[in-house]
Amino acid sequence: MKNKFEYAYMNQNVIVLVVGLIALGFAEYYKLYILGSFGVSIIIITCIFIFISMFYYTKHYIEKKGKKN
């Protein structure tokens, strides 16, 4: 039997983004302003890294596709 989590691959940046979103939701629910600002900063930094990694992934994909043709 195959591992049921075999297809649940997540990028490290996405995992940190989910943690930041959970922290932000927890902070808003319990009105914890320091945790909220920490969650927002984690979300902003992680989004920047996701955009950078997607840019380089797309650039590499286009270059690789161009070499095949």
CA–CA separation, 42 and 44 (whole Å):
6
Find the length of the chain.
69
Is pTM beyond 0.85 here?
no
Per-residue pLDDT of the chain (69 residues; tens, 9 = 90+): 566 666 666 778 888 999 999 999 999 999 999 999 999 999 999 999 999 999 999 999 999 988 876
Task: Annotate 11-35 with DSSP letters as a single string.
Answer: -HHHHHHHHHHHHHHHHHHHT-HHH
CA–CA separation, 14 and 10 (whole Å):
6
Give domain limits for the chain.
12-64
CA–CA separation, 46 and 67 (whole Å):
32
